[in-house]
């Protein structure tokens, strides 16, 4: 049972470069989420998807885009990275129904120089 | 709007002594409340969840939390700390911020780093 996998584990990126963070889940969860974790700020929601084919903006969506072509994959793209996007990024998923419980991947540590 | 305040950014205890991590919340609705744990360089793991069934919630690894509506608190406790409990703990509230298309947004506290000393 893999749960949620994220790739890469870590990345150092030059400012201005394009980067896609990958997230895959094998639990057939309908909803998926991207968060960034910054020291002293906890986790903040970037984008979410309630089901394949739909996406929505969270608290801090600027500079990021997502797509949800199928149930399993939810990639996060930084079109032109900036140093303020240096963070740890977590992908999460949630089964359908009334539960609010989200399950998290191991994270991607991104440094933008 | 909903919010979460974790009252201590760092807590240090000796192994074998009790743990108390404090959390206060604000929500316009009857909230769901969670505690997640994050070990170094790992993802977040669900410790326990409150959803209005019972005010005292038992979680994994001997942790429990008590929901007190009058105090808007959801403090996390453990009778006896173990070295393996050293991690960062997040209090999370859900229930008052609906996402477009359905589902509730989770609002995270800023985290409490627990240190366990010999």
Q: Is the dihedral of CA B73, B57, B88, A89 positive or negative?
A: negative
Q: Above pLDDT 90, what percent of chain B?
A: 71
Do the Cβ atoms of A42 and B103 come within 8 Å? no
- Segment B64-72 mean pLDDT: 94
Nearest-Cα distance to chain B for A101, in Å, is: 8
Residue A111: pLDDT over 90: yes
Tokens 């993802």 sit at which residue?
B43
pLDDT over threshold 70, residue B53: yes
**CA distances (Å), origin A35, targets A38, A47, A76, A81, B96:** 10, 7, 10, 16, 19
- Contact state of B103 with A94 under an 8 Å Cβ cutoff: yes
Strand ranges for B8-118 from DSSP E: 10-14, 19-21, 23-26, 32-38, 44-50, 56-58, 64-68, 73-78, 87-98, 104-108, 112-117
> Is 70 exceeded by the pLDDT of residue A60?
yes
Token match 């760092």: residue?
B10
Q: How far A16 CA sits from the closest chain B CA (Å)?
A: 27
Q: Give the closest-approach CA distance of A17 to chain B in angstroms.
A: 25
Interchain contact, A43 vs B90, CB within 8 Å: yes
When comparing pLDDT for A97 and A89, which is higher? A89
| Cβ contacts of A105 on chain B, cutoff 8 Å | 43
Between B114 and A1, the higher pLDDT residue: B114
Contacts of A100 in chain B (CB under 8 A): 32, 34, 49, 51, 94-95, 103-104, 106
pLDDT category at A49 given cuts 50, 70, 90 is: very high
Q: Is the CB of B32 less than 8 angstroms away from the CB of A45? A: no
Residue of A nearest to B110 (CA): A42
Q: Is the pLDDT of residue A2 over 80?
A: no
**pLDDT confidence of residue A40:** 84
- Please, which contacts does A54-58 make with residues 24 or more away whose CB atoms are closer than 8 Å? A54/B101, A56/B99, A56/B100, A56/B101, A58/A33, A58/A34, A58/B105
pLDDT at A39: 87
How does residue A97 score in pLDDT terms, banded at 50, 70 and 90? confident
For residue B103, list chain A residues with Cβ-Cβ distance below 8 A: 31, 48, 50, 94, 100
pLDDT of residue B100: 67
């Amino acid at each position: 049972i893999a749960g949620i996998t994220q790739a890469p584990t870590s990345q150092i990126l030059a400012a201005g470069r394009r980067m896609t963070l990958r997230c895959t889940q094998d639990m057939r969860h309908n909803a998926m989420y991207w968060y960034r974790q910054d020291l002293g700020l906890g986790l903040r929601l970037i984008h979410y998807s309630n089901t394949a084919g739909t996406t929505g903006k969270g608290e801090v969506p600027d500079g990021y885009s997502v797509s949800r072509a199928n149930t399993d994959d939810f990639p996060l793209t930084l079109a032109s990275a900036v140093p303020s996007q240096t963070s740890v990024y977590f992908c999460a998923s949630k089964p359908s129904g009334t539960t609010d419980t989200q399950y998290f991947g191991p994270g991607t540590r991104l440094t933008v120089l | 709007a909903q919010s979460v305040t974790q009252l201590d950014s760092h807590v240090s205890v000796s192994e074998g002594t009790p743990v108390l991590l404090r959390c206060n919340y604000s929500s316009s609705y009857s909230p769901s409340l969670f505690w997640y744990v994050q070990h170094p360089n790992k993802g977040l793991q669900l410790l326990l969840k409150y959803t209005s069934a019972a005010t005292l919630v038992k979680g994994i690894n001997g942790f429990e939390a008590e929901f007190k509506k009058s105090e808007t608190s959801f403090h996390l406790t453990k009778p006896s700390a173990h070295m393996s409990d050293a991690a960062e703990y997040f209090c999370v509230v859900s229930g008052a911020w609906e996402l477009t298309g359905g589902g509730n947004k989770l609002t995270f506290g800023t985290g409490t780093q627990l240190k366990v000393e010999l």
